[in-house]
Structure 1
Amino acid sequence: MYKQLIMPTEISIKDKKNIVKGHVNRAAIFARTKVFEVITAENESFYLIYYKNSLVYGDKLSKVEAGSFIDTAFHEGIVIEAPHPILTALIPNHSVSIPNKNKLFSQLQIHYPLDEMAYIATTLDAFFEKYELIKIIDRVYFDYRRNGSFIKAFQVIRMLNDFAPDFKSAKERFNSQEYNSYHDFYQSSSLASILKKDPLFVEHHCFQNRTHPEKRIFLENILRKQTCLAELLLLWLEKVQNTEPLDKYTDLALKFVTMKEWIFILGQMKINPYRQLPEAKPVIEKMVQEGKYETSALYLLQFIHDLPASYDPILTKVWENLSAGFVVSQLDDFLFMFQQPVHEEHTSQSEQKLFQLTVILLKEHDLKTVIEKLYPIQKLLPQSLVIQKVNKMLEMAEDPDRMMELGDYYAEFRQYDKAIDCYSWEMELQPQNPIPVKKISKMYQQKGMAEEAATYQKVYDQLKSNQRTG
């Protein structure tokens, strides 16, 4: 229902000398890293890896290998799929250049500490051979060792062991006696103590264990200190805590999206914004004032059974101005509108809308299917004349002697071709009767087929003349 409300997030990618354009199909947040999947006009998939909001690398992939970092991010990270307003806020630039692959790690070394560069290497296994990345991480390990930075060396060998568990040398070094004290420190110390020595590990650890309440809170605090507000918002949206005040996260969300988009996001999260956000009502009222009745309906329909009474005038205005075709497309949701308190004005309005719905349904379905689709409304409005007529039509369809009457009902519901079929049947049974011929002429007039209408009018005139002279 909602997809038509949000425009796709467009992006332009410069890869060597080529420029491709596409839209962000989904994104995954995984600790400090973001992965964007971009679908091009040729339906090819580009994947972009960001670290701390800076593009690290990206390329076109025909498939994502199971177990790769990209695969892990989309299975274990916080995933946002289009359409989602916050996608636009997440991607730092809508025009990017893919770095030179051969110079990538020399450039990364300039911009990041060695331990962070080693971590970044673990995120690029979709684009590089694994042995190349192992060599880079191993080199960082030995750099720290030579410089006497043993805790940093331990942190990097842990990364390498996690990244390449089959790499025997890394496993042996990680489990060697010289690192026992560091193993003990990580196992026995508090997260706050570890954070001072290894913030990358703590953030990664808390993110992977974010379902644990204590670690989730710790991660939230880290994100606040880093001013990672979009990530903080997404962390909340991933598992909404209804005990927390919505206005707190509304203030945060409005740094990235409009109130209209925030209402959309809350709707996707099954949170009723119209009960909790007073600011939501003016947004919907403005849509109605601008004549955007279908858009207003799409925003309201999900919560149509739980709207405050103050929304009744808005619903009435929307209902009065929606096309019957749109109502048919969302018929299950609109059943509520037929349940409103019955009074003369509402009954007349409901019958008018129901007539329009029936006209559309009869164009697309046979009588039996139309009755099935109208059955929920029939239960709500058993006295509806429109539905009574459709039920009568089904009875007539089984009786060859009532084709003329059935044709009249079809004509009333503007089903002129079906009416012509009924009258033609009657004309064959009573070839001297001018009445079905006159009715066929009228149907062709309604269809705008003047020549055919004139032909049947002549036949009618002849039959009437025969009756007079006979």
Structure 2
Amino acid sequence: MMNKELVQSVEISIKEKKKIIKGQVIRAVISSRSKIIEIKTSDNKSYYLVYYKNSLVYGEKLEIVEKGSFIDKAYSKGIVLESHHPFLPVIIPNENVFIPNKNKLFSELQNQYSLQEVAYIATTLDSFFTKDQLIKIIDKIFFHYRRNGKFFKAFQITHILKGFSPELSLAGDNLNSQDFRSYDNFYNSSPLPIVYSKDPLFVELYCFKNRMSPDEHKILEDILKKQDCFLELLLLWMEKVDKYSKADSIEKYTNIALQFITMEQWILILGYLKINPFQELSQTKTVIDKMLHEEHYETAALYLLDFIEDLPNTYNDTLNILWEHLDTEFIVSHLDGFSMLIQQLVQENENQQCEQKLSHLVGKLLENYDLKTVHEKLQPIQKSVPDSKVFRKMNRMTTLLEDPDHMMELGQYYAEFKQYDEAIECFSWEMELHPDDYSPVWQLSKMYQNKGMVEEAVAYRQIYAQLKGNKEIS
């Protein structure tokens, strides 16, 4: 329920050493404090950028994403936004990124984040470093804390190591050791809000992993609010709406969204979530009215098309304005979406204006489809206006298609709809059947004149004059 024509692709420029690589974002994944952005370059190469708290940590070109890696698990367990998702541009921190030096990466990270965060970040980079390299870094942090008597901090690192490499005996031994037993009891027996006061990272990761559980979902919401992570809060709400097809607190999340994006963008996002924004939010009418005032009729139509059948009555005047001003070619290219609108409006508007619009509509369709196909496409509209002269002509044309004795009549109908090539074919057939009749010759001259083919028009006019003169003499 969202018009993809209104969603723009997101481009990113990546500076890697002395090279600049440009590509298009084809997917983004949110996984607790981390984010992965997948980029496809013009030569069909895939780059993956890993972020922590909206800051780029590292990225590289990857041939494949290995099964069981952080990126692979994020795709299956995180919040995934594909390239056509209208919220995707909002969560891209920067469209120009610089990939850090790989050799200096962890020393730089220690200048920006706590050692516990560095240990967690290391677990997100297993697509770019070997597992042994990352375990060695995490072990160093663990032993640093233990040597300095910070056993609770060391225990937190053991938790991270166990989650990253469950098969590692060292991590399991540490968790079961006497030194850490009291901490283990604290985690197992304390409510999550109490654990959060001691280890926010652990609780946030745990709640995100279990976010479909109502209790953990509520705790995660509270954490994000405290951290002013409103974009992540919006994503959490969107995922819930998408999964359960039930939207609550739309006004509340609209107010949050409008801190970051325009109402136009929010309309698209709600449409993507199968929520009718024009039913739910009164301020959407102002957005569409502004488009009409600025004569952006096609844009307004694209916003409304998916909800044509379920718009409030306050949009009736809006639909009439669109019917009056939209180009027929645009209507033809979106005929399925406009079908219901046309059925409604042709009954409400002045007959002459509607007949003219319908005539243009049939003509445009005949430029792309044969007569039978056009007739089928317009059947739903025809049923609502059975007395239309345009449709009566079209119905008559379909009955004449296989009748060689009425090519003259069929050609004249084609000419009325400005389908000059088809008309020429009909009049030429009539001329073959009745070589002494000058009427089809005159029509051929007119058709070529309408096509701007002056020489052919003059030639047929001369034949017409000769045939007419012969008939008068006889």
Note whether the superposition's TM-score is higher than 0.5. Answer: yes
Where does residue 415 of structure 1 map in the other structure? Answer: 419
Residue 224 of structure 1, CA deviation = 0.7
Relative to structure 2, which stretch is displaced further, 441-450 or 133-142?
133-142
Are 2:250 and 1:249 aligned?
A: no
Residue 16 of structure 1, CA deviation = 0.6
Where does residue 4 of structure 1 map in the other structure? Answer: 5
Relative to structure 2, which stretch is displaced further, 168-177 or 199-208?
168-177
Relative to structure 2, which stretch is displaced further, 129-138 or 179-188?
179-188
Are 2:382 and 1:381 aligned?
A: no
Conservation of the 8 A alpha-carbon contact between 1:338 and 1:381: no
Q: Separation in 2 of the partners of 1:65 and 1:349?
A: 62
Q: Separation in 2 of the partners of 1:353 and 1:213?
A: 54
Q: Where in structure 2 are the equivalents of 1:160-239 lying within 5 Å?
A: 160-176=161-177, 179-239=180-240
Q: Separation in 2 of the partners of 1:339 and 1:449?
A: 38
Structure 1 counterpart SS, 2:378: helix
Deviations 1:102-125 (Å, cap 9, x if unpaired)? 111111122222221111011011
Deviations 1:45-69 (Å, cap 9, x if unpaired)? 2221111122111112233223221
Where does residue 371 of structure 1 map in the other structure? Answer: 375
Distance 1:318 1:345, change over 3 A: closer
Q: Separation in 1 of the partners of 2:123 and 2:345?
A: 63
Residue 175 of structure 1, CA deviation = 4.4
Where does residue 360 of structure 1 map in the other structure? Answer: 364
Distance 1:344 1:311, change over 3 A: closer
Relative to structure 2, which stretch is displaced further, 166-175 or 442-451?
166-175
Where does residue 133 of structure 2 map in the other structure? Answer: 132
Are 2:405 and 1:397 aligned?
A: no
Structure 2 counterpart SS, 1:159: helix
Q: Separation in 2 of the partners of 1:256 and 1:63?
A: 34
Q: Separation in 2 of the partners of 1:408 and 1:335?
A: 27
Q: Separation in 1 of the partners of 2:456 and 2:224?
A: 75
Q: Separation in 2 of the partners of 1:278 and 1:153?
A: 54
Residue 329 of structure 1, CA deviation = 1.9
Q: Separation in 2 of the partners of 1:221 and 1:344?
A: 52
Deviations 1:398-454 (Å, cap 9, x if unpaired)? 111111111111111111111111111111111111111111111101111000111
Residue 343 of structure 1, CA deviation = 5.2
Q: Separation in 1 of the partners of 2:267 and 2:66?
A: 36
Q: Separation in 1 of the partners of 2:383 and 2:62?
A: 54
Distance 1:319 1:197, change over 3 A: same
Q: Separation in 2 of the partners of 1:24 and 1:331?
A: 31
Deviations 1:20-77 (Å, cap 9, x if unpaired)? 2333333211101111123334443222111112211111223322322122223221
Residue 346 of structure 1, CA deviation = 4.1
TM-score after normalising by structure 1: 0.94
Residue 252 of structure 1, CA deviation = 0.9
Taking only the aligned residue pairs, the percentage that are identical comes to: 56
Q: Separation in 1 of the partners of 2:3 and 2:280?
A: 20
Q: Separation in 1 of the partners of 2:26 and 2:462?
A: 63
Where does residue 26 of structure 2 map in the other structure? Answer: 25
Are 2:77 and 1:55 aligned?
A: no
Relative to structure 2, which stretch is displaced further, 403-412 or 23-32?
23-32
In structure 2, what residue type is equivalent to 1:443? M
Conservation of the 8 A alpha-carbon contact between 1:86 and 1:257: no
Q: Where in structure 2 are the equivalents of 1:74-85 lying within 5 Å?
A: 74-84=75-85
Where does residue 448 of structure 1 map in the other structure? Answer: 452
Relative to structure 2, which stretch is displaced further, 174-183 or 330-339?
174-183
Conservation of the 8 A alpha-carbon contact between 2:3 and 2:306: no
Distance 1:346 1:181, change over 3 A: farther
Residue 256 of structure 1, CA deviation = 0.7
Residue 465 of structure 1, CA deviation = 1.4
In structure 2, what residue type is equivalent to 1:100? N
Residue 141 of structure 1, CA deviation = 2.1
Where does residue 288 of structure 2 map in the other structure? Answer: 284
In structure 2, what residue type is equivalent to 1:133? L
Residue 85 of structure 1, CA deviation = 5.1
Which of structures 1 and 2 has the larger relative contact order (alpha carbons within 8 angstroms, sep 6+)?
2
Relative to structure 2, which stretch is displaced further, 145-154 or 295-304?
145-154
In structure 2, what residue type is equivalent to 1:286? K
Q: Separation in 2 of the partners of 1:62 and 1:356?
A: 52
Q: Separation in 2 of the partners of 1:383 and 1:158?
A: 76
Residue 361 of structure 1, CA deviation = 1.6
Distance 1:370 1:339, change over 3 A: closer
Q: Separation in 2 of the partners of 1:227 and 1:41?
A: 37
Deviations 1:364-390 (Å, cap 9, x if unpaired)? 112221122112212222222222222
Q: Separation in 1 of the partners of 2:378 and 2:421?
A: 22
Residue 460 of structure 1, CA deviation = 1.0
In structure 2, what residue type is equivalent to 1:192? P
Where does residue 151 of structure 2 map in the other structure? Answer: 150
Residue 219 of structure 1, CA deviation = 0.5
Residue 132 of structure 1, CA deviation = 1.2
Where does residue 299 of structure 2 map in the other structure? Answer: 295
Conservation of the 8 A alpha-carbon contact between 2:438 and 2:464: yes
In structure 2, what residue type is equivalent to 1:80? L
Structure 1 counterpart SS, 2:139: helix
Residue 170 of structure 1, CA deviation = 3.1
Deviations 1:245-301 (Å, cap 9, x if unpaired)? 322212211111012211222122222222232221111111111111110001111
Q: Where in structure 2 are the equivalents of 1:42-121 lying within 5 Å?
A: 42-84=43-85, 86-121=87-122
Q: Separation in 2 of the partners of 1:256 and 1:135?
A: 41
Are 2:458 and 1:457 aligned?
A: no
Conservation of the 8 A alpha-carbon contact between 1:86 and 1:256: no
Conservation of the 8 A alpha-carbon contact between 2:323 and 2:345: no
Residue 218 of structure 1, CA deviation = 0.6
Q: Separation in 1 of the partners of 2:160 and 2:313?
A: 57
Deviations 1:158-208 (Å, cap 9, x if unpaired)? 322222233344344444565444333322221111112221111011111
Distance 1:346 1:339, change over 3 A: farther
